[in-house]
Amino acid sequence: MRGNITRNATRKKGEESSSKHSERPYLVGYRRPPVTSRFQPGSSGNPKGRPKNTKNLKTLIRQAMTGKISIKEGPTSRRVSKIEGVVLRQLQSALKGNDRSAMAVIKMAMQMGFLEDPNSNPSETIALSASDEQILEQLLTRQHKARR
């Protein structure tokens, strides 16, 4: 098939592709599909694919979590994202004495690396003060008793 495909020979100056070029028959072959089976301009290659403006689960969750809500802080209120509102409420609950919320806030802070000393090496362990250790121990024992 390859031998049947004619290529444009190098043209000399002044020689234009005249009607001879359009009179040549179109040869079907490697990388030259028939004209009738080519994708038509303006039509999709997958017409029954996902409809436009439909969202996947990740997009729906992102929109739900980043939507704005009003929260009240003292006498004023402000608009924050829903995920930020959840974190703020969890922290407020922890400060009011809710042990589960306190453990959740501490766990979030540990996961985000906020309890690590930025000046220390990662191989070094963080030394807590005696009062900090006592508070953490009390929280852990309360949490352990609550699970039983």
pLDDT tens per residue, range 8-25: 444 444 445 445 556 778
pLDDT in tens, 68-97: 999 888 899 999 999 999 999 999 999 999
| C-beta separation of 69 from 80 below 8 A | yes
pLDDT of amino acid 49: 84
pLDDT of amino acid 72: 87
Rounded to the nearest integer, the mean pLDDT of the chain is 79
| C-beta separation of 82 from 69 below 8 A | yes
Segment 40-68 mean pLDDT = 87
pLDDT of amino acid 11: 46
Give the closest residue to 67 by CA, choosing from 76, 75, 59.
Answer: 59
**Dihedral (C-alpha) 100, 102, 108, 114: value to the nearest 10 degrees?**
-160
Site of tokens 């990740």: 58
pLDDT of amino acid 22: 64
Name the 3-class secondary structure at 41. Answer: coil
